[in-house]
Structure 1
Amino acid sequence: MTIRAHGLTKRYGGKTGKTVVDDLTFTVEPGTVTGFLGPNGAGKSTTMRMLLGMDTPTAGRATIGGRAYATHPAPLTEVGALLEAKAVHPGRTAFHHLTALALTHGIPRSRVEHVLDLAGLTEVADKRVKGFSLGMGQRLGIAAALLGDPATIILDEPVNGLDPEGVLWIRTLLKSLAQQGRTVLVSSHLMSEMALTAEHLVVIGRGRLLADTTVTDLVRESGAAYVKVVTPEADRLRALLTTADIDIDRPAGETPDTLHVRGLDAPDIGRIAAASGLPLFELTPRTASLEQAFMDLTHDSVEYQAATKPSAGVAA
């Protein structure tokens, strides 16, 4: 089922209050893992709450499979969601928590046992949730999201608290769900993990849409990729390469012989240097990371900017 946000807006305090989500429109299609990214305070959790009918939009609407979440006759079997892993009665066991949810939709006990096993919680199924670690709580929340075997899965920061094995598990699980044709929307602050898990990205900042694109295209278009060039004739090479479409800088911390070139690939740089008889000691393409592309895209949307250098009296 397709997720659609149509001009979603959420404002607190009336017309003069704070706008948390601002005219947000995007689509999440089945068959792919879509990463939902943004700095702290960007409006991701509020948007997810509106998608699930937990917050009422000030304007716009959200649909899942063409209808509002609250109008689905058996929502647990249509949409599985994890927004807050700790939203569980601490005195219940994992088994009883999932069983209580299952009974609301006529889901059999065999499905409860299946998702406990899927989440690696079978051995602690009879343990009270108040004794669970953060990672175990995340696993239980994901098990609950999958309980109704839904076609759509919405997860907010699902890898929080998971150990490396757990992170690998959730990455493999999300890809498997998408390969089955399900719709998967997942938020995360871990760019390295999103680069390995998601194919499509919706990026927001200060409640507004910044990008709705593939991971590959976002990284390629970010301008974060460059070619590292080391030559004793750096000034001459720079003069040869400088055009309106090529950006060249001498990075801090590198030797004076080092240039970072954007807008021209390594073979072309090599040919230009060779034609002028300039020696090259290094000519290395450096691929941009999703993290750097994300940082560049959201730089002006970060709510709180940290200092880039330690201030006086603070150890580096």
Structure 2
Amino acid sequence: MIEVKNLSKRYGQRAAVDDLTFTVRPGTVTGFLGPNGAGKSTTMRMIVGLDAATSGTVTINGRRYADHRAPLQEIGALLDARAVHPNRSAYNHLRAIAATTGIAKRRVDEVIDLVGLREVARKPAGSFSLGMSQRLGIATALLGDPETVLLDEPVNGLDPEGVLWIRNLLRALAAEGRTVFVSSHLMSEMALTAQHLVVIGRGRLIADVPIAEFTTRACVNSVRVRSPHSAALSDLLAGPDVSIASSERGVLEVIGLSIEQIGERAAEAGICLYELSPQQPSLEDVFMELTSGSVEYRATVEVAPAGKAA
């Protein structure tokens, strides 16, 4: 379990993390989300003692990271996949860590096989692709067979097979009763992997909820209606509290009426419907809405007219 209490980190007048409090519990994959500059990496670094907090506390299984006699057996972390000596092989990198922390040599072979690096284990880590480096970083995090796993952007650089592998791995670790805390900017993947979310913006807590609750708390649900008589149906459904949009021919997105209300009105008017289905907002939709006021960096993109150079 990771317990963060009133945690703050300041760099001069700038607050990177501002009075943050949350708990990451065992048996669940907890996603850590936030825009660039939100303070996610700083928070993770403070959890494992790489950055000192200005105020507040962080404990892992009841103790500060530095107070554990065998910290790698309590929490395994991946913060920078490239933090490996480029001339050292993957095997020797893991073997050196194991030898200096009292971890058995056989565990090195176990994690190499677990992450799928057996064929390249003797090659220099500096020759690895980003995806291979991520696998080595995950192997390092799991080397001590820790009860708590902390991973910062672990799917960066992975191919589709690798993404599926890490998704299944994280869920399997949580199913064993471990604490799993993972950050990512890939909303679609987080929606498939996490059961709970901690969302921050500008260093402050925005949400700490189960993912199912998160996706229903912000955006208004709509109803997708497909009909060969969409124009007539739009006129029929129009009202002061009803919003109707059309992104493609014959399809309406209706907000303000339930499926039952739309179906009954269409039936009474004799209008044929090909589709009538609820449209819940995606994790990305809700995330963008809730963090819109916390985005530190915004880009302005101008699209050149067709046929003209940008």
Normalising by structure 2, we get a TM-score of 0.91
Count of residue pairs brought into register by the alignment = 304
Aligned counterpart, 2:234: 234
Partners of 2:256 and 2:233 lie apart in 1 by 20
Q: What secondary structure is seen at the aligned counterpart in 2 of 1:232?
A: helix
The equivalent position to 1:310 in structure 2, one of 285, 289, 303, is 303
Assess, with a 3 A threshold, how the Cα gap between structure 1 residues 47 and 267 changes in structure 2: closer, same or farther: same
Structure 1 contact 234–258 (Cα < 8 Å) conserved: no
Using the TM superposition, name which of 97-106 and 224-233 deviates more. Answer: 224-233
Aligned counterpart, 2:258: 265
Deviation at residue 269 of structure 1 after TM alignment: 2.2
**1:176 maps to amino acid:** A
Deviation at residue 292 of structure 1 after TM alignment: 1.3
Deviation at residue 151 of structure 1 after TM alignment: 0.1
Assess, with a 3 A threshold, how the Cα gap between structure 1 residues 170 and 10 changes in structure 2: closer, same or farther: same
**Cα deviations across residues 21-47 of structure 1 (Å, max 9, x unaligned)?**
111111110001000011111110001
The equivalent position to 1:38 in structure 2, one of 18, 28, 34, is 34
- Of all paired residues, the percent bearing the same amino acid is 58
Deviation at residue 268 of structure 1 after TM alignment: 2.9
Aligned counterpart, 1:223: 219
Structure 1 contact 224–292 (Cα < 8 Å) conserved: no
Partners of 1:106 and 1:29 lie apart in 2 by 27
Moved segments of 4+, more than 6 Å: 311-316
Aligned counterpart, 1:20: 16
Using the TM superposition, name which of 57-66 and 186-195 deviates more. Answer: 57-66
Q: What secondary structure is seen at the aligned counterpart in 2 of 1:202?
A: strand
Q: What secondary structure is seen at the aligned counterpart in 2 of 1:84?
A: coil
Is 2:214 the counterpart of 1:205? no
Partners of 2:309 and 2:238 lie apart in 1 by 37
Partners of 1:126 and 1:188 lie apart in 2 by 30
Deviation at residue 274 of structure 1 after TM alignment: 3.7
Q: What secondary structure is seen at the aligned counterpart in 2 of 1:89?
A: coil
Gapped runs of 5+ residues in structure 1? none
**2:118 maps to amino acid:** T
Deviation at residue 7 of structure 1 after TM alignment: 1.0
The equivalent position to 2:288 in structure 1, one of 295, 300, 303, is 295
Using the TM superposition, name which of 66-75 and 178-187 deviates more. Answer: 66-75
Partners of 1:300 and 1:156 lie apart in 2 by 23
Partners of 1:254 and 1:308 lie apart in 2 by 25
Partners of 1:249 and 1:306 lie apart in 2 by 30
The equivalent position to 2:66 in structure 1, one of 67, 70, 82, is 70
Gapped runs of 5+ residues in structure 2? none
Structure 1 contact 224–289 (Cα < 8 Å) conserved: no
Aligned counterpart, 2:158: 162
Assess, with a 3 A threshold, how the Cα gap between structure 1 residues 103 and 224 changes in structure 2: closer, same or farther: farther
> How well do the aligned residues superpose, as a CA RMSD in angstroms?
2.1
Is 2:187 the counterpart of 1:191? yes
Partners of 1:263 and 1:112 lie apart in 2 by 58
**2:295 maps to amino acid:** V
Assess, with a 3 A threshold, how the Cα gap between structure 1 residues 264 and 5 changes in structure 2: closer, same or farther: farther
The equivalent position to 2:135 in structure 1, one of 133, 136, 139, is 139
Aligned counterpart, 2:97: 101
**1:292 maps to amino acid:** D
Structure 2 contact 147–179 (Cα < 8 Å) conserved: yes
Assess, with a 3 A threshold, how the Cα gap between structure 1 residues 233 and 124 changes in structure 2: closer, same or farther: closer
